[in-house]
Structures are given as structure tokens and as C-alpha cells.
Amino acid sequence: MKKIILVLLALIMTVAAEAQKREMRGAWIQCVNGQFQGMGTEKMQQTLSYQLDELMKDGVNVIIFQVRPECDALYESKLEPWSRFLTGKQGQAPSPYWDPLQWMIDECHKRGMELHAWINPFRARTKTTKQLASNHIAVREPLSCFSYDDLFILNPGLPQNRDYICEVAKDIVSRYDVDGIHMDDYFYPYPVKGETIPDADQFRVYNNGIRDINDWRRYNVNLFIEQFYKTIHATKPWVKVGISPFGIYRNKKSSSIGSDTNGTQNYDDLYADILLWVNNGWLDYNVPQIYWEIGNKAADYETLIRWWNQYASGRPLIIGEDVERTVKYADPKNPNTHQQAAKMRLHQQLPAVKGTVLWYAKAAVDNVGQYGTMLRNNYWRYPALQPSMPFISDKAPKKVSKMKPIWTSGDYVLFWTAPKGKDWRDKAVKYVVYRFAADEKVDINDPAKIVAITTNTYYKLPYANGSQKYTYVVTALNRLQNESKIVKKSIKL
């Protein structure tokens, strides 16, 4: 038993040494699977509160919350109807009334998490939706959509549709204090044998001199992505734009730079040229959905994560991770355990990888295969700031002032004063508190020394008997979590 404990302690210390100070640790909370449909306000709030509490314990620092699955809304909107995935009937407001997006923003911010609003840009109706509200875009403008495999898709070839999606996103960003806006892999529909995309008429009208319809479809999506990115940053420059594409860009048989895989392709099948978007800076973080296991014959996880690391490093690369599949399959090099440890080692080894988003939140909350336990005790044991995004802004707040420990109401509390800021770039919105023992060198790059990331301008100190000396350090963060210079104070506890 003693030997096992020593091995576990060594493992924890090894992981801690490799812990990243800046890392996106996200989880997708989806509604399109019907997990909240007709649940009612109180029960849904209880369910979400429990999920957020457990995810916070796991170390999650970003929630990506689905708010627009089919040109509808899990928030108050004058542009689109209430979602049936909330109330059971499209267009019907929740009762008792609440705004799930606003509620989630408040709850996430209370827990120190970012909230990214997740929209499905072009999907206008899922297969299971049989009745649309009178103010739904497919009812108001039926020619704006095409039908494919029992789905309705907003036609990306129509300029007004691109404008419309940007208008919806701008409405969200302008009215809600979201930290990011996120879209997933639904651009043109996934190909289905025997189905043809009915867009020949639009191609004739809007081809812009492009002769190949496949090139034209990619051109349409490229136009949209560029317009979308510029719209968001013109509205609120600090709001991050994230895209979560399918896990394969191109197979090697289709392109010399393709991955050694054999599956559906972003570029050829979904008309999503994700590398162009990364290289042109039309997104702020990229989350390819590498949902397969290590050793998958058609799409090996290790092959794909190495491919994305090599070709898509122009923006922070975050790995979309399938929790259930990870714990379902054994590690090929260690058959007695599942693949979480092997995948995390790859994350740590590859320099472009700046984080993970879990598919999906509930699987982590349910702790399948002890996945959540390993996050909270090992991989995400210490807090982390968000990845740096100097391409948005590299400006940081000035340092805090008047830092001093004071006894108040029986507690020993470290107080400081916020720095003055003119705009979002230098305005402090959070603070990082570090603690170092008397014999330790101050090194704020060590996340193990972070004791709090807080919106407060104070921190309650763990006073014992006043015999132990520590150095406390406080820094200020802006909306992008760019960090100020340090202020330190020697304190006896």
C-alpha cells in the first residue's frame, strides 16, 4: 500500500510540473440532445447549477453553452423564436419566465468561468422538429432555406443569409456579457448518399465568375467566416470567436498535406476551409473535434492531433475531446488503463495545443471512467488563465496599489486597490493571488502557486499563529486575461 501511495504522489508531482499556467479548459453543454426539453425552469436551473459546480471542481474555466441550435433561441430574442429544446414547443416562452443565456453568464462568472455562446450558423431545422413557429426564418423567408436529408439549411450561397446570421450574432454579443461566441461544424450539410444540395440556381446567379460549384461553396463559407469575425470584433473587440470544425481537414489521398486518415473532410465535403480561416486570422481559437480513439483505423487520434499541431498553429489550438470514447478504449501501450493519460501526454508534448474542450459536459460530470476525478486531482488540479491572444490585444492593466493585510471582523484579509484604466484593454476585471514560502523564489509562471483568481479586491488569508512567513503576489487581469506586473507583500501567518 505504501508503494502505491508513493507512485501516486510521484504521478501527481509529475503532472503538476507539466501543468500549464495558460490553458483553455472547456466543456460543451448542449441542448439539441433534448436533455433540458420541457424540464421546467426550476429543474433546469438545478441541473445546470449541479453541472457547473462539478465542472468547476474539475478545473473547467470555459463553458460553451448552446443557445441557437436551429435558428431559434435559448435567450430572449426579437429575431428568432424560443427554442423547443427549452420549452418543448418552438416559439413558446419558458414558464416561470427566465433567460437561460443571461442566467448562465451570471452563474459562470460567479464561479470564475468564461461563458461562450454556441450557435449553429446555417442549420434551420433539425430532423426531429416537425413544427416551426410563425416567426421562424424558414416560415418568414421559405426561399432562404433548402431541404437536405430531412434538414432545413440556410443556403450559404445567398448573401442575405450570411448577413442574417451576423445580425443574430451581433444581437447576442451587443446585449449579453458573453466572453466568446462559438460555432460548430455545421456549414454545408454532411454528405448523404443519394442526396444532392439543391443550389444550382443560386450558383448561376451568385457564382462571381467561379466555375466550379465546389469552389463556389467554399467561397461562400469563407465570405461568411470573414464577415462573422469582423462583425463580432467591431461590436466588442474582446469577445473571442471560436470555431469547432470536424476533426479531419483533408485526407492524404485528396491532398499532399492531408492527414493519413480516411473519413469525411472539412474542405471537400463540408466546404469548410479551416486552414484558410486560421491562417487569415478569421477566428481566435480553433477546436477540431478529434473524437476518435488512439489506434482508430480510419482516423487515428494521435495522427490527427499531430497533424493539427503541425498545420494549424496560427491560432490557439484547442482539442475537442470525446470523454466517453476516451474511457471506452484501452491505451494500446498500456491495456490495463483507458486512453485519458495517453491523450493528455500528447497534449503536453505538442506546443501548439493550448487546451481541451470536453464533449460533452455531462459525461465529465457523471465521471465516466473516473475522467472527472483525474481532471480535478491531476491534470487540472491547479487554476489556469486563458491562452494569450496578442493578435486581439497584448495590452495589460497597470499593477494594483495600496496592498496591505488588515485584521477585520476577526479575519486577516489582504486588501488592494484596483488600477485605473481607460478602456477594456487596461481595465482590471480580475486578480490573481499567488503564495510563496519564505525559501521559494517568486515565479508567477508556476500555476501551483496560484491560490485564487478573483473579481474581488481582497483575499482572506489563512492565518494560523503568525509564525510562518510567506510572500503574497497580486496581479491584475483585463478581459483577455492579459496580466499586469506584480505587487508583492511579505506576510506572517
pLDDT in tens, 284-311: 999 999 999 999 999 999 999 999 999 9
pLDDT at 19: 83
CB count within 10 Å of CB 99 equals: 17
Do the Cβ atoms of 419 and 55 come closer than 8 Å? no
pLDDT bracket for residue 397 (50, 70, 90): very high
Using CA atoms of 148, 154, 158, 164 in order, give the dihedral in degrees to the nearest 10. 180
pLDDT at 103: 98
Q: Is the pLDDT of residue 492 over 70?
A: yes
pLDDT in tens, 240-282: 999 999 999 999 999 999 999 999 999 999 999 999 999 999 9
Q: Is the pLDDT of residue 119 over 90?
A: yes
Query: Distance between CA atoms of 281 and 1, rounded to whole angstroms?
Result: 53
pLDDT bracket for residue 4 (50, 70, 90): very low
Q: Is the pLDDT of residue 13 over 50?
A: no
Q: Strand order of the sheet with strand 458-460? A: 401-408, 411-417, 458-460
Residue 323: exposed, middle, or buried by beta-carbon count in 10 A (0-12, 13-18, 19+)? Answer: buried
- Provide the whole-model pTM: 0.95
pLDDT at 435: 98
Q: Indicate the average pLDDT of the chain.
A: 95
pLDDT, mean of residues 147-156: 97
Using CA atoms of 224, 229, 231, 232 in order, give the dihedral in degrees to the nearest 10. 140
pLDDT, mean of residues 428-440: 97
Q: Sort residue 336 into left (φ over 0), alpha (ψ -120 to 50) or beta.
A: alpha
pLDDT, mean of residues 111-127: 97
Q: Is the pLDDT of residue 226 over 60?
A: yes
